[in-house]
Amino acid sequence: MDKLSSLMETHLLLILVCIPLGRSLTVTVPDSSSPSALVDGPQTAFTVNNNGARTDIREQEAVYDIMRATGNDWATDIPDICRGRWHGIECMPDKDNVYHVVSLSFGALSDDTAFPTCDIAKSSISPSITKLPRLRTLFFYRCLTNNPQPIPSFLGRLGKSLQTLVLRENGLVGPIPNELGNLTRLKVLDLHKNELNGSIPGSLGRITSLRSLDLSGNQLSGLIPDLSFPQLNVLDLNQNHLVGSIPTTLMNCPSLIKLDMSRNCLSGPIPESISGLENLILLDLGYNSLAGPLPASLKELNSLQALLLNGNPTMSTTIPSSIFDGLKDLVVLILSENNLQGIIPESLGRLRKIRVIHLDGNKLNGSIPASFGDLNDLSELRLDNNLLMGPVPFNRDMVWRMRRKLRLNNNSGLCYDTKSGLGDDLATSSDSVIGICETSKYGMATKAVRHISTIDGTELGPLGTKSAGRVQKPAVACFMLLQLANFLLFAVYVM
């Protein structure tokens, strides 16, 4: 039981999957007003006053049912579940000193948070869950995985109390029940990585208290309904089969910090009303079929740190120089494979916090803006597979800093100026030569393969290494995501 109390202190359960590009960043908040302190506190009082508080008998029977349905029959040997507590159950006394179950969690989330695990081949969610009228948090992680079943519609009956519903990675099938829209007190709804299909129910719009909605990694199809949530911080719909355009109603979610609708089949332009998302930090609309032009109002997203729109070949537009004007905090810009034309705006080189720029696989022409030479934090730059010409505006330090994360191959005629001191530092691959700029015309360089060397003489290999495939997962540094996570944690916690 000692182990229990340490977990009980963890009021916030933060799931942070920092895979390349941080595709799944989810914050789950079981309950900010966690009762654990209360229950842990008076435990001495408990033993002293042995006839005092006890668990509501109907709830106790219900919990036995729920535990049996997940293969945790051992729990039925515990005579008073709120006293013989395990990691994964939380109780709270009422004014008559009767304990009620307020939180139930299942699944081995990490070594520190060992909730009861489930028999994944047989487990189900018992209907007895509806007999827990004070339940605020229900958390199932990798629990029902090998017993494909739909989300039970009876969960909708927990509307009076439920604030957090997490059913991550449980192999759940079928549609999201309309009844979940009855959970009007919900703050967190997380159905990440199941096999859910059908369309997103419009009834979810009734959950006006929602802070985090994660439906990513399913097979949801159809149009995104006209939803708007005044308090929503996180909306993650990535990796589904959603079609149609981005609903303008979603632009009425002024609290959104993270919006991820990448890897769907969305079409049409990005709405100008996107400027309504004034607190947005991360916007990912990558790998869809969105159309140009890029809305000028993007520049009003002053908090934005990561903008990812790559893999929308239907974009086929130019980059308006004005869009970078307000994006002062931008750290990551991913616009690869968008069929972008015209020049790279000089204004991009004025984003002093930028660390990652991917503009590869477009039809950008003109030269690399000289302002790029002043981007002191830039650690990753991909400009390969474009139509760029002219001198590379970097000094040796910058080239060395980026090393192989500087990609310039397959352009129309990039070259280096002998005065830049780059010389042998700018390596090339055999099929794309970056030679010395000629004074008369750029890009007519001698065929020479050069390699970049580190200070200690280790060869780094050709800079212009051809990218392996069309779909490149841009590697966004974890530091940024961690920073974002901290921010989210704060934002969600204070509510």
Positions touching ligand NAG (CB under 6 A) are 156, 173-174, 178-179, 181-182, 197-198, 203, 341-342, 361, 363, 365-366, 385-386, 410
Rounded CA-CA distance 247/228 in Å is 9
> Quick one: 98 or 173, whose CB is closer to ligand NAG?
173
CA angle 278, 282, 283 (to 5 degrees): 85
State the pairing for strand pair 89-93/98-106. antiparallel
* C-alpha dist (Å) from residue 476 to 262, 308, 381: 15, 10, 12
Please tell me whether residue 283 adopts helix, strand or coil conformation.
Answer: strand
46 torsion bin: left (phi>0), alpha (psi -120 to 50), beta (else): alpha
The 3-state DSSP class for residue 46 equals helix
Shortest distance (Å) from residue 158 CB to ligand NAG: 11
In this complex, which beta carbon is closest to ligand NAG, that of residue 52 or of residue 461?
461
Shortest separation between residue 272's beta carbon and ligand NAG, angstroms: 23
Based on CB atoms, which residue is closest to ligand NAG, 207 or 485?
Answer: 207
In the block, tokens 């202190």 appear at 9
The answer to whether 314 and 267 are in contact (CB under 8 A) is yes
Nearer to ligand NAG, 158 or 166 (CB): 158
Structure tokens at 124: 């189900």
Query: Smallest distance, Å, CB 381 to ligand NAG?
Result: 16
Q: Which amino acid is at 102?
A: V
- Of the pair 84, 198, the CB lying nearest ligand NAG is at 198
For residues 434 and 429, what is the distance between their CA atoms, to the nearest angstrom? 8
Name which of 182 and 347 has its Cβ closer to ligand NAG. 182
H or E stretch covering 398: helix 396-402
| Residue among 88 and 393 whose Cβ is closer to ligand NAG | 393
Helix or strand or coil: residue 80? coil
Q: Can you list the positions of beta strands (E) in 153-271?
A: 164-168, 173-174, 188-190, 195-196, 212-214, 221-223, 234-236, 241-244, 258-260, 265-269
Say how far apart CA 100 and CA 95 lie, in whole Å.
11
CB 123 to ligand NAG: min, Å: 18
Q: How far is the CB of 153 from ligand NAG (least distance, A)?
A: 8
Q: How far is the CB of 198 from ligand NAG (least distance, A)?
A: 4
Q: Cα(264)–Cα(286) distance, rounded to whole angstroms?
A: 8
Residue 102 or 340 having the CB closest to ligand NAG: 340
HSE (side-chain half, CA atoms, 13 Å) at 427: 21
In whole angstroms, how close is the CB of 341 to ligand NAG at the nearest point? Answer: 4
Output 183 or 485, the one with its CB closest to ligand NAG: 183
Neighbours of 50 (CB within 10 A): 9
* Minimum separation from the CB atom of position 76 to ligand NAG (A): 30
Cβ count within 10 A of residue 462: 18
Query: In the complex with ligand NAG, which residue's Cβ is closer, 71 or 205?
Result: 205
Q: Which is nearer to ligand NAG, 289 or 365 (CB)?
A: 365
Return the closest-CA partner of residue 251 out of 225, 229, 234.
229
Minimum gap (Å) between residue 240 Cβ and ligand NAG? 12
> What does DSSP assign to residue 187?
S
Rounded Cα gap, residues 449 and 428, in angstroms: 6
